[in-house]
Amino acid sequence: MPSESLTSMENGAAADTAAAIRNYVRANMTALRDVDLRDDDNFFEKGFVTSIFAMQMLDFIESTFGIEVPDDRITLQNFSSIDSMTRMVGELKHAAGE
């Protein structure tokens, strides 16, 4: 369920990015929990994901979007919600001239 703030600023590419991240997060959420995941939910705080998730997410983002996340971008804040990851991927792609 995309949050309103993001919905209003989504363009096509960002929507695709968000959808890919959303699918990956959903496929990796702890299985035996019924959760309604919002794009602005901090899934570390809500305990939606297992502990290896952060590392997998970084690999997923780098391999799916063909970008390298620089050291100073690897912060819990940037990886804590679908919104924050979508924003970061958009900025990194923009910086790479895409």
If one asks whether residue 63 binds another protein (CB under 8 A), the answer comes out as: yes
Could you say whether residue 44 binds another protein (CB under 8 A)?
Answer: yes
Q: List Cβ<8 Å contacts ≥24 apart for 16-25.
A: 17/65, 17/86, 17/89, 17/90, 18/82, 18/83, 18/86, 20/64, 20/65, 21/60, 21/61, 21/82, 21/85, 21/86, 21/89, 22/82, 24/57, 24/60, 24/64, 25/49, 25/57, 25/82
**Applying CB under 8 A, does 62 fall inside the site for another protein?**
yes
Note whether 36 binds another protein by CB under 8 A: no
- The site for another protein (CB under 8 A) is made up of 24, 26-32, 44, 50-56, 58-60, 62-63, 71-72, 74-76, 79
